[in-house]
Amino acid sequence: MKLFFHLLVLFRSLGSLAASHVDSSQWQTVPNRFEHNPAGAIQHLLKGGANVDEYSGPPQPMMVIGAGLPRTGTASFKTAMDMLGYKCHHMIELLETNGKEELWHQHLVQKSLSFDEIMNDMASHGFNATVDMPTAFKYKEQINRYPKAKVILTVRSEEGDKAGKQWAKSMVNTILQLPRLLSSIPLSWFPRASHTIEFLEGSYAGVDLPMYEHEKLPAFYDSWNEEVMKTVNRENLLVFRAKDGWKPLCDFLGPVSEIVQANCARFIASGQPYPRVNDTDTIKTAMSFFTAFSLFVKAFPGVVLTIAVVQVFLKGSLKSAASRNKKHA
């Protein structure tokens, strides 16, 4: 029954991903690289990123530092910054780009790489803005290195106590599911599973985020935002909700460059809606796949073993055939 339920969720999620998510009265949906691509998210989690960052320009200083927690509109914010002309670093870079998660693993888990070296790598690849984890958890270090950078605290759109509760619910329903799923059979057999869990635990431990004590999450959300507002100079901080739109964001950023100024003026004058990237469905689809896969293996181990043996045999046969063809060539 559990297997059937998660398969149902999986297919429903895939169906919803194929549909449009536009509320024309307020939002414009601008898909990020994960939205509508749950298979890509699954591949990156199990095999690692395959993309190569081909930036060849000079190192860039950090101009905008995102201090908001994950699940506070960070994917939409990344999209907005890219639209304005920045190159914004987001968690997706670690999942998609070859070698990037390994750098952070060396910093957070192995303790063999300093954060300055991480920042040097980002600068050398042209990033001049950051948002989402793990960079948001290092906002103080970024400010120390780039004291003139603007700091933006993305927060939930809900007011009062509802914000922390909704943030906690969003975290529990999405990314906090990963450690449990990746530590279960058969996902735990994949080498990257433990690697990813270590990365997540290392990220959260650095800021005391209670990833295994969900009842403490709402209070953590409130205390994090309060700390950021106390730490950052008021004139250098913008508390930003996605529903605020372009104008307060552009007013805060100021005359950064001709490209950013021109894009700000164009978006505001034309009534261009602020982007809304809804990656929740993608994450839930990936979670349902992992759960359904795990339940299937536990329910039908013989079938899975047979498929695995046949696959190994076929690969061996193909290699042997290729080797014989080379000899005869």
pLDDT for res 36: 45
Average pLDDT, integer, range 279-295? 69
3-state secondary structure of 64: strand
| Residue 189 pLDDT level (bands cut at 50, 70, 90) | confident
pLDDT for res 14: 40
In 64-109, which ranges are continuous DSSP H helix? 74-84, 91-96, 100-108
How far is Cα 279 from Cα 32, in angstroms, rounded to an integer?
A: 8
CATH of residue 153? 3.40.50.300
pTM of the full structure: 0.78
Using CA atoms of 141, 75, 83, 263 in order, give the dihedral in degrees to the nearest 10.
-80
Judge whether 179 and 214 are in contact, CB under 8 Å. no
Tell whether the model's pLDDT for residue 20 goes beyond 70: no
Half-sphere exposure of 33 (CA within 13 A, CB side): 16
pLDDT for res 69: 97
In the chain the first and final C-alpha atoms are separated, in Å, by: 55
Tell whether the model's pLDDT for residue 153 goes beyond 80: yes
Tell whether the model's pLDDT for residue 231 goes beyond 90: yes
> What is the percent of the chain where pLDDT is above 70?
70
Lowest mean per-residue pLDDT among 168-172, 205-209, 224-228, 308-312: 308-312
105 residue type, one letter = H
- Comparing 171 with 35, which gets the higher pLDDT? 171
Average pLDDT, integer, range 197-222? 93
Site of tokens 């106390």: 230
| Residue 129 pLDDT level (bands cut at 50, 70, 90) | very high
Domain count within the chain = 1
Lowest mean per-residue pLDDT among 106-115, 170-179, 200-209, 246-255: 170-179
CA angle 64, 284, 28 (to 5 degrees): 50
Q: Residue 76: which of 178, 187, 154 has the closest Cα?
A: 154
pLDDT for res 126: 94
Tell whether the model's pLDDT for residue 22 goes beyond 80: no
| Residue 302 pLDDT level (bands cut at 50, 70, 90) | low
Tell whether the model's pLDDT for residue 275 goes beyond 90: yes
Instruction: For the chain, give the mean pLDDT.
Output: 80
pLDDT for res 149: 96
Lowest mean per-residue pLDDT among 36-40, 120-124, 153-157, 184-188: 36-40
| Residue 32 pLDDT level (bands cut at 50, 70, 90) | very low
3-state secondary structure of 89: strand
pLDDT for res 45: 59
| Structural domain for 12, as ranges | 2-328
Peptide bond into 134 cis (omega under 30): yes
- Comparing 102 with 20, which gets the higher pLDDT? 102
Give the CA distances from residue 269 to residues 8, 247, 307, in Å, rounded to whole numbers and listed in that order: 44, 10, 58
The bridge status of strand 129-130 relative to strand 88-89 is parallel
| Residue 265 pLDDT level (bands cut at 50, 70, 90) | very high
pLDDT for res 326: 53
DSSP E strand boundaries for the chain: 64-66, 88-89, 129-130, 150-154, 237-240
Per-residue burial over 245-261, b if 16 or more Cβ lie within 10 Å, else e, is: bbeebbebbeebeeebb
| Residue 97 pLDDT level (bands cut at 50, 70, 90) | confident
- Comparing 12 with 180, which gets the higher pLDDT? 180
Judge whether 81 and 88 are in contact, CB under 8 Å. yes
Identify any residues that bridge with 64 across adjacent strands, giving them in sequence order: 129, 150
Q: Could you count the other beta carbons within 10 Å of the beta carbon of residue 55?
A: 13
- Comparing 298 with 108, which gets the higher pLDDT? 108
pLDDT for res 323: 57
pLDDT for res 277: 84
Burial label, 173 (beta-carbon count in 10 A; 0-12, 13-18, 19+): middle
Tell whether the model's pLDDT for residue 70 goes beyond 90: yes
